[in-house]
């Protein structure tokens, strides 16, 4: 078979061309060009999303007042005509799916309607199916700016979090961290006027980023120590498998729980967490949902919870080179399941406040 015409290779979007080139090298080396192109289109036709990305400077917090103020230093405008979404097992994919699935069951009528309008068509109305999208695109050249928004690093061993001290990227640019991103995308979604068109911001992206980052801020090591990059540089063994501590909390505790207790079925695990929300944890829900901020988002206390849990559970007994097994797994699993529940409840609460047609009533924290 002859190679495809050059017009097919030199596509308008460079990132798509690179993706095609990588796929050729990785998956179809030695195959005919005609076979490759056919399989590529068949396999990825549902993963190509037309996007118009508009990231604009917006107003966030003034540290001295704790509310609205300083600039969010993102790239001014980026135009992307097509974006290839690479489906990877990137909390990990399971954790984000669980958080968003829990949230979906707790949405108000107004919020559910708005979410349905804003979701991309390929999601088929299911927020959980696209909650890992920010992980899937963050290594793409056009989306690298989003990498620092998945976490916030804190000073080693202090076991506390402060927005003004900690929320910045490695270049020192303020507000570029997971809590800053939650404030930013909450603010964007508050401009929603009932449709996805004629908006100042790309609210589909804002919804997906907010949903993902509210999950991330509940993973304790996404608010970990600066010196070990949230456990990424702490090499450990999870039973026999060599990995790092961050990956243990992102993926392996959840995966081991699924295999050990839930017949390798994520939906069964989610249902068990949902039962705990309505039964064992029911008296805690109002406290979890509470948000006294006029911004309708309260990520700072969630981040403070995470670093305290990281110190108490994630880092404890997890020295470099150690093998983590049953003792660590069984004592940390309840923490992970509770954080998944809290993330889902709080995501729903945040979306309910954002999209409520009723005036916001502030409830002071006890």
**Global confidence as pTM:** 0.77
If phi > 0 it is left, if psi is from -120 to 50 it is alpha, else beta; for residue 203 that is alpha
- Rounded to 10°, the helix 299-309/178-189 angle is 150
Task: Indicate whether 113 and 230 sit together in one domain.
Answer: yes
Task: Indicate whether 177 and 310 sit together in one domain.
Answer: yes
**Is 77 inside any structural domain?**
no
**Is 128 inside any structural domain?**
yes
**Segment holding 83, helix H or strand E:** strand 82-84
Low-confidence ranges of the chain (pLDDT < 50): 1-59, 64-90, 362-366
**Is 16 inside any structural domain?**
yes
Q: Tokens for 174, please give them.
A: 């303020």
**Segment holding 120, helix H or strand E:** none
The residues near 172 (Cβ < 8 Å, ≥ 6 apart) are none
Of 319, 328, 339, 315, the closest CA to residue 156 belongs to 315
- Beta strand pairing call for 235-238 and 82-84: unpaired
Task: Indicate whether 24 and 165 sit together in one domain.
Answer: no
Q: Tokens for 328, please give them.
A: 């660590």
Q: Tokens for 320, please give them.
A: 């470099």
Using one digit for the tens of pLDDT, what is the confidence trace for 350-363? 999 999 986 655 44
Task: Indicate whether 221 and 347 sit together in one domain.
Answer: yes
Task: Indicate whether 13 and 161 sit together in one domain.
Answer: no
Task: Indicate whether 113 and 254 sit together in one domain.
Answer: yes
Using one digit for the tens of pLDDT, what is the confidence trace for 140-160? 999 999 999 999 999 999 999
DSSP states of 316-335: TT--TTPEE-HHHHHHHHHH
Task: Indicate whether 235 and 296 sit together in one domain.
Answer: yes
Beta-carbon-side half-sphere exposure of residue 333 (alpha carbons within 13 Å)? 19
Helix ranges restricted to H, 153-229: 163-166, 178-189, 203-216
Using one digit for the tens of pLDDT, what is the confidence trace for 127-140? 999 999 999 999 99
**Is 136 inside any structural domain?**
yes
Task: Indicate whether 199 and 320 sit together in one domain.
Answer: yes
Domain with residue 341: its CATH number is: 1.10.575.10
Of 12, 320, 328, 295, the closest CA to residue 175 belongs to 295
**Is 81 inside any structural domain?**
no
**Is 64 inside any structural domain?**
no
**Is 365 inside any structural domain?**
no
Task: Indicate whether 10 and 120 sit together in one domain.
Answer: no
Q: Tokens for 342, please give them.
A: 């809290």
CA–CA distance, 223 with 131 (Å, rounded to integer): 19
Q: Tokens for 267, please give them.
A: 């939906």
Of 243, 241, 244, 273, the closest CA to residue 257 belongs to 273
Per-residue pLDDT, 137: 97
Number of compact structural domains in the chain: 2
Task: Indicate whether 132 and 25 sit together in one domain.
Answer: no
Task: Indicate whether 325 and 240 sit together in one domain.
Answer: yes
- 49 in Cβ contact with 85 (< 8 Å): yes
Per-residue pLDDT, 45: 32
Task: Indicate whether 17 and 116 sit together in one domain.
Answer: no
Of 210, 214, 221, 217, the closest CA to residue 250 belongs to 221
Buried b (16+ CB within 10 A) or exposed e, 273-286: bbebbeeebeeebe
- 252 in Cβ contact with 84 (< 8 Å): no
Residue 277 domain boundaries = 88-355
- 262 in Cβ contact with 272 (< 8 Å): yes
Distances (CA, A) of 267 to 75, 87, 127, 191: 38, 19, 15, 33
Beta-carbon-side half-sphere exposure of residue 61 (alpha carbons within 13 Å)? 30
- Please state the φ and ψ torsions of residue 113, each to the nearest 5 degrees: -65, -45
């Amino acid at each position: 078979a002859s190679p495809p015409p050059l017009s097919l290779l030199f596509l308008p979007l460079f990132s798509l061309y690179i993706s095609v080139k990588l796929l050729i090298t990785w998956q179809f080396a030695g195959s005919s060009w005609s076979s490759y192109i056919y399989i590529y289109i068949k396999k990825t036709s549902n993963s190509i999303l037309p996007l118009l990305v508009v990231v604009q400077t917006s107003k966030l917090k003034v540290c001295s007042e704790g509310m609205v103020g300083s600039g969010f230093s993102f790239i001014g405008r980026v135009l992307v005509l097509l974006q290839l979404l690479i489906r990877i097992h990137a909390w990990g994919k399971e954790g984000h799916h669980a958080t968003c699935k829990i949230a979906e069951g707790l949405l108000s009528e107004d919020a559910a309607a708005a979410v349905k309008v804003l979701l991309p068509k390929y999601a088929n109305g299911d927020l959980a199916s696209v909650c890992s999208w920010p992980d899937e695109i963050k290594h793409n050249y056009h989306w690298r700016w989003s990498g620092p928004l998945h976490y916030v690093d804190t000073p080693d061993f202090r076991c506390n979090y402060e927005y003004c001290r900690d929320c910045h990227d490695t270049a020192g640019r303020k507000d570029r961290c997971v809590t800053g991103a939650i404030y930013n995308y909450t603010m964007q979604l508050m401009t929603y006027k009932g449709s996805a068109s004629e908006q100042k911001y790309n609210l589909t992206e804002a919804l997906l980023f907010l949903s993902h980052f509210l999950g991330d801020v509940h993973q304790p090591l996404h608010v970990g120590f600066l010196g070990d990059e949230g456990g990424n540089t702490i090499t450990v063994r999870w039973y026999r498998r060599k990995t790092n501590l961050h990956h243990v909390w992102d993926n392996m505790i959840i995966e081991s729980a699924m295999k050990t207790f839930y017949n390798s079925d994520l939906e069964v695990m989610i249902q068990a967490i949902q039962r705990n929300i309505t039964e064992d944890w029911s008296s805690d829900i109002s406290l979890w949902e509470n948000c006294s901020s006029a911004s309708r988002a309260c990520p700072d206390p969630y981040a403070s919870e995470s670093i305290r849990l990281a110190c108490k559970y994630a880092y404890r007994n997890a020295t470099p080179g150690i093998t983590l097994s049953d003792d660590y797994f069984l004592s940390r699993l309840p923490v992970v399941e509770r954080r998944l529940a809290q993330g889902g409840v709080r995501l729903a609460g945040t979306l309910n406040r954002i999209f409520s047609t009723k005036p916001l009533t502030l409830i002071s924290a006890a």
